Structure 1
Amino acid sequence: MAPGLPVAMDRPHFIGIGGAGMSGIARILAQRGAAVAGSDAKESATADALREQGAVVHIGHAADHLADDATCVVVSSAIRPDNPELVRAAELGLPVVHRSDALAALMDGLRPIAVAGTHGKTTTTSMLAVALSALGLNPSYAIGGDLDAPGSNALHGTGDIFVAEADESDRSFHAYRPEVAIVLNVELDHHANYASMEEIYESFETFAARIVPGGTLVVSADHPGARELTRRLDGTVRTVTYGEAEDADVRVLSIVPQGLRSEVTVLLDDRKLTFAVSVPGRHYALNAVAALAAGVALGIPAADLSGAIAAYTGVKRRLQLKGEAAGVQVIDSYAHHPTEMTADLEAMRAAAGGSRILVAFQPHLFSRTRELGKEMGRALALADASAVLDIYPAREDPIPGVTSELIVEAARAAGADVTAVHDRDEVPEAVAGMARPGDLVLTMGAGDVTDLGPRILDRLAQQ
């Protein structure tokens, strides 16, 4: 058993092992020498990647999937109390460990950088992981998305830095004790867990208070919610701000689009520094500046880190090019909150020149659609035409009266050309019927809309 592996986790069983957060922890534990097992609802490339790491992955949930010699059961907040494997764990008297506590244990003894915020966590965490790796620092990392292949969302590195995506959705980021924490933005989301912005602020204040003595909070100077958080903290933690605001400690002087790249110039310690960001969009450029500021706070020279950031070329589902057919490019976007949708559509508009932008959008969660459906519709008005799918429920039960029609109506009211497509299997035909050579098609949302990209390409190829 490798050093730093909690004894209770030498034979862990993960319920929902294929999830982005869970699979990363499972992978690191396997690399540290644990005998990892778990279950997931369906087969996936992630499940296969875990098996290649030596993990036992069952498909479906059943009590007998939990081995008698398991030492603990790892769960996320999405696992319901009546899950048969969780019920069996109680019968066996096994400890149940929340995903965040497992991740916190993996960081113990290392120098953690925890990346938080309503949007941009996966990208910023990925940028840091790739840049630090390019510098030969061999970090460990746990990311909410794959870098370049299934199973590339986590790594047990030999260095002393651990970069982790810190999820605020269920307050689980309160478990971490980072040396450096990043807060990219603060907005109201995850409506099943937060009733107000006041609760959101309190949660982020708790996260900031967990920074170790002498550590640093890197926080946006541009985002209103982040600025309010900084005001509330009132100097209780060492803070470095970044952004285009004139009072930012790391001030962004310019962001120059260059097709699917950007050139960024910042003022850092009274010196100008220009570097490349290999993904399009102002929001991704600002994420890169946050990564730069965090690395500098950890003691890494800015000139070295800025050059290494260019090694980051994207993460799956974050404006990922899936292919081209009949002169139409299909790009996958994880955006599911109105702010994210707007940012990705604006980025694609800047990169597309005169090309039309078409969107196949799948709303994620009934609670989010109820609260933000109108804003989602207005965001879709930035596209030239859209197809809106039914809501992807994920962990939620339906809410009476809440359907994707809320988004469709708002989009039409904003002047958008939008079509409701209730049968997911009809989306490829609908999108192909809209498209013409030179168009860009975005499959957008946090659910299984991502699976439609290859099907849209196949249908386009038949034209």
Structure 2
Amino acid sequence: MKKEIKLPQGVRHIHCIGIGGSGMFPLVQILHSQGYEISGSDNNESDILNLERQMGLQIHLGHSPENLAGADMVMYTAAILADNPELAAARKMGIPMLERAEVLGAVSSRYQNAVGITGTHGKTTVTSILTHILYLAGKDPSAVIGGKLSTIGGYGRAGKTDLFVYEACEFQDHFLRTCPDVAIILNIDNDHMEYFGTVENAMKSYTAFANMAGRVLYNGDDANTCTAMEPVEKEKYTFGMSPERDFYPADVVRQDGFTCSFDLMHRGEKLTRLTLHIPGDHNILNAVAAAAEAWMQGVAPDEIARAMESFHGAGRRFELVGRVDGVTIADDYGHHPAELTATLKAAMNLGYRQVWAVFQPFTFSRTYLLLDDFVKALSLADHVVLSSIMGSREVNTYNIHSSDLGEKIPGCAWRDTFEEVAEYVMSRVQPGDLVLTMGCGDIYKCARMMLHMGRLKDQEQAEVVR
């Protein structure tokens, strides 16, 4: 039995700084279900804050020392700056303070079958598919997901078994604070280089994460991952597109841009045939990884197939926002050049007249360090429109701006506010176009603005006709 990481003794009321974050919300759900009193604060209104209010939680808009009333522990996200007034007040009052990753570590240590899913790309999709399958198969998992999963009505859940599925984020080695029994490694790319410095350093952290687990499932098609897994002396399995892997797809049939079917293979044996309703070859690989782990968790192949048939994506992963006046508006969380490339390649093959990429760069360091990669990725779209960079936890010491990126992309436009971005796009799109908002910040708000503008325009035109 593994060692439990305990929260500070006597904690009953946890105050969460940055409670509107997608990584914070599922922990809030689990802790609240376990009887903890939860309060929290955030600077911006969001769907998550509304969901938390519906749970009966006390939510404060804005940060103030008064918000800490009654709290005997503070949980905060990595995006919170050190001079935050609530952090400063908690420090002065001697209230224990734990970063979100530390709390996730404590939660993961309570389960004897904790499945940690990590990698530069695809964590939320794989975590969502696996949770979806396990939940529908009656395995009653607990889960922490970085996106909203409609199957469970939120970003996480508290089950009554020892099975726990969670996203293990590599940012600043946060995943090394968790306690995985199973490690799933999806890929290793050049992200968070402001911390790791080199991909080789990142690979060492992934090696350490895998060594913490008893069993490892990893991407045998990804060179960096394979190299990182070489020194790992654990029970290891591979997935990929090649028959050389332990799990792989065969006889892939694409029915349309969003739907395909394939045989799930295990060492030359067909387990079942799966139908997938999310686009792109990268999602076939994600589905294979999730289905493989579900099978190793004891889910019957026919149950995996039934569950996969009913999966239509995680929130903010090529999510349809709406259609107006012949224009399709969708939203995607992708924020790394490799993710933008995979998503835009899939979008360009869906048969739309033209594809608009509306991108909100996230963090100054990533934009600066991967500038040329962003140019190459975004140039796949027919039109590119940029919002201002969302700095989040960073100060712009790089002196980088969206205009520096936009000037390198032919025909690119950039605007400071979402309102200006939405007006620019909606005054130029034509029926048959796809508008895809992209980024891990709050660019989804721009997608909704565009949908609202289109509906208002339709209403005004209808009134003129009458």
The TM-score, its normalising length taken from structure 1, stands at 0.92
One-letter amino acid of the counterpart of residue 375, structure 2: G
Name the structure 2 match of 1:195.
Answer: 197
Match of 2:47 among 27, 45, 51: 45
In 2, distance between residues paired with 1:151 and 1:97? 27
**Alpha-carbon separation, structure 2, partners of 1:18 and 1:157:** 22
Distance 1:42 1:418, change over 3 A: closer
Instruction: Identify if the C-alpha distance between structure 1 residues 8 and 41 changes in structure 2 by more than 3 Å, giving closer, same or farther.
Output: farther
CA apart distance, 1:5: 8.6
Q: Percent identity?
A: 33
Instruction: Give a deviation string over 1:264-298, Cα, whole Å, max 9, x none.
Output: 22321431232111211111121111111222233
Query: Per the alignment, in what secondary structure is the counterpart of residue 144 of structure 1?
Result: strand
Structure-1 residue corresponding to 2:351: 353
Q: Is the 8 A contact 2:111 2:163 kept in 1?
A: no
Q: CA deviation at 1:33?
A: 1.0
For the residue of structure 1 that corresponds to 2:282, the secondary structure is: helix
Q: Deviation string for 1:289-332 (max 9, x for gaps)?
A: 11112222333333422332222211221101111111000010
**Structure 1 residue 354, shift from structure 2 partner:** 4.9
CA–CA distance in structure 2, aligned partners of residues 143 and 301 of structure 1: 23
The 5-angstrom pairing of residues 51-200 of structure 1 reads: 51-67=53-69, 69-107=70-108, 108-148=110-150, 152-200=154-202
Q: Distance in 2 between matches of 1:368 and 1:253?
A: 36
Aligned to 1:395: 393
1:134·1:311 contact (CA, 8 Å) conserved in 2?
no
The residue aligned with 1:368 is 366
**What's the counterpart of residue 384 of structure 1?**
382
Residue identity matched to 1:257: R
SS state at 2:391 partner: coil
Mapped to 1, the partners of 2:384 and 2:45 lie a distance apart of: 30
What is the RMSD computed on CA atoms of the aligned residues? 2.1
Q: Give 2:319's aligned residue.
A: 320
- Give yes or no for the alignment of 1:226 onto 2:225: yes
Q: Deviations over 1:199-244 (max 9, x none)?
A: 1011111111111xxx2111111122212222343xx111110011
Change (3 A) 1:186 1:8: farther
C-alpha separation between the residues in 1 aligned to 2:152 and 2:56? 15
What SS does the corresponding residue of 2:194 show, helix, strand or coil? Answer: coil
User: Quick one: distance in 2 between partners of 1:143 and 1:254?
Assistant: 31
Q: Distance in 2 between matches of 1:309 and 1:354?
A: 26
Tell me if structure 2 keeps the 8 A contact 1:263–1:276.
Answer: yes
Query: Alignment length, in residue pairs?
Result: 450
Determine the C-alpha separation between the residues in 2 that align with 1:148 and 1:384.
32
C-alpha distance in 1 between matches for 2:202 and 2:116 = 17
In 2, distance between residues paired with 1:195 and 1:40?
Answer: 31
Report the AA paired with residue 277 of structure 1.
L
1:365-444 to 2 correspondences below 5 Å: 365-412=363-410, 417-444=411-438
Which structure 2 segments of 5+ residues have no match?
A: 459-466
Structure 1 segments unaligned to the other structure (5+ residues): none
TM-score (norm 2): 0.91
Could you tell me how far 1:17 is from its partner in structure 2?
1.0
Task: Show the counterpart of 2:282.
Answer: 283
Q: What residue identity is the alignment partner of 1:433?
A: S
Task: Report the equivalent of 1:253.
Answer: 250
Distance 1:363 1:4 in 2: 36
Cα deviation, residue 53, structure 1: 1.9
1:405 CA displacement: 2.8
Whole-Å separation in 2 of the counterparts to 1:405 and 1:298: 48
**1:452 to 1:154, Cα distance in 2 relative to 1, 3 A:** same
